[in-house]
């Protein structure tokens, strides 16, 4: 993303997340990446620093919502910063439907 973030790159990220392929997902992250997820032990959710920690955080997401789907994406890009808003839905292993 050295040339800036495009809507196409952000959509490709959504697509690979919906494929649930951790190897391909992690290919999109730099070694010093940071992932912030809205749910977690702090008021701001969970923060994962470094590729290995990010992979573990995402593996936990896929285990907790095995059929998770990221839908309705809206993308924003400015220089090297990209943001995507999306909805998340899926079913937990206990059968609880999530739609947020």
pLDDT of residue 3: 65
**Structural domains for the chain:** 7-99 (3.10.450.50)
Mean pLDDT (the chain, rounded): 91
Residue of 3 and 37 predicted with greater confidence:
37
Residue of 89 and 2 predicted with greater confidence:
89
Is the pLDDT assigned to residue 80 strictly greater than 90? no
Cα→Cα distances 46→9, 24, 57, 64, Å: 24, 22, 9, 15
Cα→Cα distances 3→10, 39, 86, Å: 13, 31, 24
């Amino acid at each position: 993303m050295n040339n800036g973030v495009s809507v196409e790159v952000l959509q490709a990220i959504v697509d690979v997340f919906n494929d649930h392929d951790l190897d391909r997902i992690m290919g999109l992250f730099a070694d010093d990446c940071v992932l912030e997820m809205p749910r977690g032990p702090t008021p701001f959710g969970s923060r994962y620093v470094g590729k290995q920690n990010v992979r573990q955080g995402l593996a936990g997401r896929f285990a907790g919502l095995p059929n998770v789907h990221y839908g309705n994406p809206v993308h924003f890009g400015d220089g090297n910063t990209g943001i995507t808003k999306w909805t998340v839905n899926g079913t937990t292993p206990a059968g609880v439907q999530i739609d947020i």
